[in-house]
Amino acid sequence: MWGRPGDDTLRKLRRWNSAIQRVRCRIEKIFGTWKRSYGLRRMRWRGLAKACLQVHLTAIAYNLKGTASILGTAAA
């Protein structure tokens, strides 16, 4: 689809992007934060189980930080 010339290809691409834009922007923001702030540019350990553990621990830390900031603003 991407290598074909023409307006039909661009219309399909725009339609496809508009359908997933809302979901993608929320997810990509989280992955960007993980890479930038939590060191997930590279895996610390080898193996699928250990890499999965690292991602889960990063998700827990991200959620705890978000919860702390929500509770901190609600108490203030």
Work out whether the CA dihedral 57, 73, 71, 27 comes out positive or negative.
negative
For the chain, give every domain's residue range.
7-75
Q: Over 90: is that where the pLDDT of 70 sits?
A: no
Q: SS3 of 43, please?
A: coil
Which pLDDT score is estimated for 35?
92
Give me the chain's average pLDDT, please. Answer: 86
Q: Indicate yes or no: pTM above 0.75.
A: no
